[in-house]
Amino acid sequence: MACRIVFVLFPGFQQLDLAGPMAVFEVARLAQPGSYDWRLAARAPGPVRSSAGVAWPVESLPRACGRSDLVMVIGGDGVDAACQDLPLVRWLQRASRSGARIASICSGSLLLAAAGLLDHRAATTHWSRSRQFATEHPAVRLQPDRIYVREPATRRHRPQRPELWTSAGMTAGIDLCLALVAHDCGEEVAREAARQLVVERRRPGGQSQFSPLLEAQRPEGRFGALLDYVRQHLHLPLGVEDLAAQACMSPRHFARCFRDETGTTPAQLVERLRLEAARAALEGGSPSVQRIAQDCGFGSTERMRRAFQRWLGRPPAAFRKAGAGQ
């Protein structure tokens, strides 16, 4: 019997949050006919406009929540308004009590949190929403670096708490849905879906490979010029004192302001920028790993290898092979 999915939309949802998961389940259904069926639903029937301005036709949220095996809340810029939509919040609470599995894509986890479904449970969300999430929902065990989080159902509470899946930003919804397919249909079906979509079945690393750099490079960020300086001088030591001098600040004040602005330490961000440059050199076919390690400020190939494993989950050689195959 097919797993019945309800994709929950709201005005201002992100199209990729919907299209990516739908594509995963579509390919899985081709590999295993009858495995999935779905509908698009919102609080009111009719077209729901996405953040890109394209309207998608939807049905009303089903009155009988028990007819759904999986409720998946899509994220997007409109999620803040959706969190104030009490009929929608109450419907999600009823769906949770019905026994359906509950999932969210990207910032859709904020809506699950607003409904109280994530209290005292682990969850993730898009990195750019992590601070807002932690502030507004301190009862949730937020795991901001995770690509996706699965919380199994538990019978220790009354009523029983359902199985919960939350994913990080946009394309991480594909990772979550591939994991769901593996759970429902087996690993071979999930691998086939990944092959058809030309994505990795299990992506290495977490959101931390994206968030600190992106946060620091915001147009309104105060350290953009400093990051440019770091990129041009990766071969230098670049300690806190050096960076503070470039920013015309005392080391202590600089370190505090930098962490408040970017959510990471100066040393961590310097290592990430070195990693970014080294990865680009490897994928570009640079012949000497030792030269890359020196030019990017790692000092040794072993230190560079440890940084690659820590942040990206793979050694430098894996990125050289990837680049050579393109």
Please state, as a whole number, how many other Cβ atoms lie within 10 Å of the Cβ of residue 55: 11
- Angle, helices 266-283/224-232, rounded to nearest 10 degrees: 50
* Residue 131 and residue 264 in contact, taking contact as beta carbons nearer than 8 Å: no
Tokens describing residue 323: 């680049």
Q: Mean per-residue pLDDT for 236-257?
A: 92
pLDDT digits (tens, 9 = 90+) for 91-132: 999 999 988 999 999 999 999 999 999 999 999 999 889 889
Q: Place 203 in a pLDDT band, splitting at 50, 70 and 90.
A: low
User: What does the pLDDT read at residue 322?
Assistant: 47
All domains of the chain in start order, with CATH: 3-203 (3.40.50.880), 208-324 (1.10.10.60)
Q: What is the pLDDT of residue 227?
A: 82
pLDDT tens-digit series, residues 31-61 = 999 999 999 999 999 999 999 999 999 999 9
Q: Is the pLDDT of residue 72 over 90?
A: yes
Share of the chain above pLDDT 70, in %: 89
Closest C-alpha among 139, 135, 136 to residue 117: 139
Token pair 């990125």 is found at 319
The answer to whether residues 97 and 159 touch, using CB atoms and an 8 Å cutoff, is yes
SS3 218: coil
According to DSSP, residue 2 is labeled P
* Mean predicted lDDT score pLDDT of the chain: 87
DSSP 106: T
Give the residue from 223, 204, 115 showing the smallest Cα distance to 166. Answer: 115
Residue 219 — very low, low, confident or very high, per pLDDT cuts 50/70/90? very low
213, exposed or middle or buried, with CB in 10 Å at 0-12, 13-18, 19+? middle
Q: Residue 325's pLDDT band (boundaries 50, 70, 90)?
A: very low
Average pLDDT over residues 23-29: 96
The better pLDDT of the pair 271, 322 is held by 271
Q: For residues 54 and 56, what is the distance between their CA atoms, to the nearest angstrom?
A: 7
Would you state the pLDDT for residue 38? 96
CB 73 within 8 A of CB 92: yes
DSSP SS3 for 46: strand
How far is residue 74's CA from residue 16's CA, in Å, rounded to a whole number?
9
Res 218: pLDDT: 52
Q: Tell me the average pLDDT across 246-256.
A: 92
